[in-house]
Structure 1
Amino acid sequence: MRRLADLLTVITPLGRVVALGSVLLWWVGAQLGWTELVLAGATGLVVFGLACLLTLGRAALRVRVELDRQRVVVGRQVNCTVDIAQTTAGRLLPLTLELPVGEQVEVFDVLGGGRRAFPIPTRKRGVIAVGPATTVRGDPLGLLRRTVTWTDPVELFAHPVTVPLDSLAAGLLRDLEGRATTDLSMSDLAFHALREYAPGDDHRHIHWRSSAKLAAPGRFLVRQYQDTRRAHLAVVVDGSAGSYPDPEHFETAVSAGASIAARAITDEVETTVLAAGHVAHRAGLRPAMDALTRCDLGSEPLAELVSRTVRIMPDVTTAVVVTGPKPTFVELQSVMAAFASEVRTVVVRVDHENRTALTGDVLTLRELSDLPMLLSGGGLG
């Protein structure tokens, strides 16, 4: 049954009309005794049969699709090479090779094989699917179309544009001991105080000298510590369509988030990126840029995205939230309040209509080129 379904997919809509119409004409002509209708039906069936003969056979090919680079900054082009070779002796019937590249399709003549190269421009940020490469065999009238897939699709990443930033290490407390919090612990690096020994405490934490001087006979004092945590940066790019007046604002927001994440990862700060639903948790530079490349405008509100950030990263120490000009000041305050009090939270608000400015922990960014100056002015330093 499945094989029959596969055979039926070879017939195009026009081919089905011709085949069924020819049979119908033949039957009507035979019933009414109209020779003309019988002749027309027979002619249609003959044409359909010849079309079937042209699609018979299977080509023995080796097809390879190669990109000189799989990741580039948007605006640059990538060279794609298609290598076609016949693996058996014999003559090939007319055959074409189709290679989808994004929304376009590159077409090659298989006869003669060889290597064909062409450039792929990256006009906008995003993931461009290259492939799969398929051969197409059919007839001149388009009654049948038989395709064979030879390669898997390859993803070409057009990463967002970024601007170079000064090191963020000073502002992110990138030290070996981490940063102290208000949480108390019985085992850490930051000493806090002494307290009386309680059943279950580790004997190694008993402070013998203080116990001898200050504690009552038979009682002991143990060390208590403050929890410390390594610097962990969260870069959150708002993907709600309601936060931006147009896609250009969103692209600037993505580029701003990418610039901050790239600088932090270069500084060897643990970085997690949440970009409009795509997450790169404690990732390196490539996965972080890939996540920022895949993201797009959607319907998830900024408040829900921030709530998800808090759930995913309970140990975050610094959060940078990048959004558009639409959220109100009250909404931004609510976003910052969603993080714990000890988490440094900065909001970068992309607004092409207003001047770049710094107001407390809310940074207004007019152009991407203003980001280095804005951050050096107190944003994360």
Structure 2
Amino acid sequence: MSRLSVRNLVADLRERSAPVASGAGSAYSFVADRVRPWFGTVTSIGWGVLLLGALAWVAATALGWIEAAVVAMAALFLLIGAAFFMIGRTRLAVATVVEPPRVAVGQALTGELRARNEARGPLVSTSLEFPIGAGGVTYDLPMLLPGAEHTELFVVPTQRRGVIDVGPVRTVRGDPLGLFRRVQEWTDRTEVFVHPRTTHLEPFGVGLVRDLEGSTAQNTSMSDLAFHALREYVPGDDLRHIHWRSSARHGQLLVRQFLDTRRSHIVVIVDSSPMSYDSEDEYETAMSIAGSLLRRGILDEFDVSFATGDVLMVRATAASGGGRTALDACSRATPQHTSLIEITAEAARQAPDASLVMLVTGRYPEFVTLQRAAGQFSVDATTVAVRVDSSQRAGFKAIADLPMITLPDLDQLPVVLSKGLSG
């Protein structure tokens, strides 16, 4: 037989066996898809009983031990008996409602869980596992007739700032011995934001650059919208800004001069290093100060940016729901071993147009560190440092052109801040 004939024979055999292989593969996939979920329901205890039974059966077969055969049969009966508890399917419609999804620290927050039986037959008593944050609750549903609904109320803890995961709601089906366990999720995970406690601040106005609807800065410009005065023409001035009527009246060329009008951009930076604070409470006070500043900036319709160790930069405006976005970032923030210099450098890179920078830190960073952090921003930006120190009285002072505010708690912020910005 020639080499060409052999090749043709092999190709023909492959072509004929392809449908058989395809059918075998489809059958294997079908069986595997049906069997795999069952293996997933076996617990570690169940696998231990199965292994014990297999070893006992091998010992009984190889060595003729009657005791080992008894152990193998007992393991088999245990597995078969426990498997009967897994027969059947749970058909539920579960929904959770948490309102509002955003609260401040200490505000009451409750929710509602509703479960409805969508099976054709009655639903026997079953358990619902409901994770809430680091903990959770378990609800034992009573027997529900087809279409019947059961409602439970729950409380979400809001004593601490953070993001709380609510759900997903799960049903757990298993046997009394714990050999099998089937978990089924019925809802998605929902995030509840617990914003830091904030205090009311007066509108930012003094010493700040405002947008066209607010006050203007005192920096003169030759190409803006707020007309300021006329001055004599000097070589190099744009001829388009010559005021011809006034020039004719005074017998010399006069040009328009404007005031700089830029949109205010407030950048709030929180030192995330745990080494900067004396306690966790002082760090939480710093986050509350940041939240109060961001909230006031949004109410004044400024652009606001928030930066800390694990939140390098979040920029928002009032039009884009900035209050929610900025305060959500405050909720997510956690202490990180990131230096204040690194945070301010990144913030200055992403917000070169900052008009007001608030550096919030603890009692331990040296003044030189604060100076270096403030120096990352433009000289046109007003920079204010805020120290949280529960051992000191509230006060304000300016050291080497850097305004410094000391606060023992959040309640002193409105008075001292207004003094600092106006001074």
Please indicate, yes or no, whether the TM-score normalized by the shorter chain is above 0.5: yes
Go from structure 1 to structure 2 and tell me whether the alpha carbon gap of 1:316 and 1:33 turns closer, same or farther (over 3 Å shift). Answer: same
Cα-to-partner distance string for 1:323-375 (whole Å, 9 max, x where unaligned) = 11121011011111111111000010111122222121011111222112211
1:324 aligns with 2:324: no
Cα-to-partner distance string for 1:34-79 (whole Å, 9 max, x where unaligned) = 1111111111122112222212322111000111321111123311
Find the aligned partners of 1:180 and 1:172 in 2 and give their Cα distance. Answer: 7
Find the aligned partners of 2:71 and 2:96 in 1 and give their Cα distance. Answer: 46
Find the aligned partners of 2:177 and 2:256 in 1 and give their Cα distance. Answer: 88
Tell me the SS of whatever aligns to 2:130: strand
Aligned to 2:68: 37
Letter of the aligned partner of 1:129 in structure 2? D
Residue from 47, 52, 72 that aligns with 1:21: 52
Equivalences for 1:88-237 in 2 at 5 Å? 88-110=119-141, 111-112=143-144, 113-174=149-210, 176=212, 179-180=216-217, 186=223, 188-189=225-226, 194=233, 196=235, 204-205=240-241, 208=244, 227-237=260-270
Go from structure 1 to structure 2 and tell me whether the alpha carbon gap of 1:187 and 1:171 turns closer, same or farther (over 3 Å shift). Answer: closer
1:246 aligns with 2:284: no
Aligned residue pairs total: 373
Find the aligned partners of 1:182 and 1:121 in 2 and give their Cα distance. Answer: 50
Find the aligned partners of 2:36 and 2:365 in 1 and give their Cα distance. Answer: 53
Aligned to 1:281: 315
Q: Which runs of 5+ in 1 are unaligned?
A: 216-220
1:55 aligns with 2:86: yes
Cα-to-partner distance string for 1:155-194 (whole Å, 9 max, x where unaligned) = 1111111122223233434352664486966455456974
Aligned to 1:272: 305
Residue from 355, 358, 369 that aligns with 2:393: 355
Find the aligned partners of 1:380 and 1:138 in 2 and give their Cα distance. Answer: 68
Find the aligned partners of 2:257 and 2:73 in 1 and give their Cα distance. Answer: 97
Structure number with greater CO (CA < 8 Å, separation at least 6) is 1
Indicate conservation of the 8 Å contact 1:196/1:222, yes or no: no
Find the aligned partners of 1:93 and 1:55 in 2 and give their Cα distance. Answer: 13
Tell me the SS of whatever aligns to 2:316: coil
Indicate conservation of the 8 Å contact 2:266/2:303, yes or no: yes
Indicate conservation of the 8 Å contact 1:94/1:137, yes or no: no
Indicate conservation of the 8 Å contact 1:195/1:223, yes or no: no
Aligned to 1:377: 419
Find the aligned partners of 2:258 and 2:415 in 1 and give their Cα distance. Answer: 39
Tell me the SS of whatever aligns to 1:90: coil
Cα-to-partner distance string for 1:225-269 (whole Å, 9 max, x where unaligned) = 665312211111121223223211110100111112222222223
Tell me the SS of whatever aligns to 1:169: coil
Find the aligned partners of 1:340 and 1:179 in 2 and give their Cα distance. Answer: 18
- Between stretches 365-374 and 326-335, larger displacement belongs to 365-374
TM-score (norm 1): 0.88
Residue from 86, 111, 127 that aligns with 2:117: 86
Cα-to-partner distance string for 1:250-298 (whole Å, 9 max, x where unaligned) = 1010011111222222222332222433343124222221111111101
Go from structure 1 to structure 2 and tell me whether the alpha carbon gap of 1:187 and 1:26 turns closer, same or farther (over 3 Å shift). Answer: same
Find the aligned partners of 2:345 and 2:122 in 1 and give their Cα distance. Answer: 63
Find the aligned partners of 1:171 and 1:105 in 2 and give their Cα distance. Answer: 50
Residue from 291, 297, 307 that aligns with 1:258: 291
Tell me the SS of whatever aligns to 1:129: strand
Go from structure 1 to structure 2 and tell me whether the alpha carbon gap of 1:171 and 1:183 turns closer, same or farther (over 3 Å shift). Answer: closer
1:85 to partner: Cα distance: 0.3
TM-score (norm 2): 0.80
Indicate conservation of the 8 Å contact 2:225/2:258, yes or no: yes
Find the aligned partners of 1:168 and 1:189 in 2 and give their Cα distance. Answer: 20
Find the aligned partners of 1:339 and 1:109 in 2 and give their Cα distance. Answer: 58
Residue from 91, 98, 101 that aligns with 1:70: 101
Tell me the SS of whatever aligns to 1:228: coil
Q: Which runs of 5+ in 2 are unaligned?
A: 1-28
Indicate conservation of the 8 Å contact 2:211/2:261, yes or no: no
More strand by share: 1
Tell me the SS of whatever aligns to 2:326: helix
Go from structure 1 to structure 2 and tell me whether the alpha carbon gap of 1:247 and 1:92 turns closer, same or farther (over 3 Å shift). Answer: same
Indicate conservation of the 8 Å contact 2:220/2:259, yes or no: yes
Indicate conservation of the 8 Å contact 1:169/1:267, yes or no: no
Find the aligned partners of 1:49 and 1:196 in 2 and give their Cα distance. Answer: 100
Letter of the aligned partner of 2:415 in structure 1? M
1:123 to partner: Cα distance: 1.9
Identity across matched positions, percent: 36
Find the aligned partners of 1:13 and 1:95 in 2 and give their Cα distance. Answer: 22
